[in-house]
Amino acid sequence: MKITKSQLRQIIKEEISKELHTENALSNMISRFSKDGADIPRDKTVARMAYQLDYRDRGGESGLLDIYADSDEEALQKAVERVKRMKGNFFISRLTSPDGEIVAS
């Protein structure tokens, strides 16, 4: 099976992203607890889930952004709003949850 350089780059990006999200999820869980071990309410912390937005335009330009949200629905709404604010004719190529599942494509 042959793969192109761009396909290899994409595979590497996805694998690195999975690792970063795993490490980020662990640090987010740790940051939710204060020094004395009391649980801090989630809305009082910055420990929200980081979704990954892969956006593209018709000309081939693309990029990745982290979207911080507490649910798939909130992440999708924020992703749509973010893409609308971008200069150019961008669209959501893929929105991936912190656990690696595709939320939208």
pLDDT at 35 > cutoff 70: no
The pLDDT mean for the chain works out to 77
* pTM beyond 0.85: no
Polymer length in residues for the chain: 105
pLDDT of residue 12: 82
Q: Output 29 or 100, whichever has higher pLDDT.
A: 100
pLDDT over 90, % of the chain = 2
What are the backbone dihedrals phi and psi of residue 40, each rounded to the nearest 5 degrees, phi first? -95, 130
Domain coordinates in residue numbering, the chain: 5-104
For the chain, helix (H) and strand (E) counts, in that order, are: 2, 4
Burial of 103 (0-12, 13-18, 19+ CB in 10 A): buried
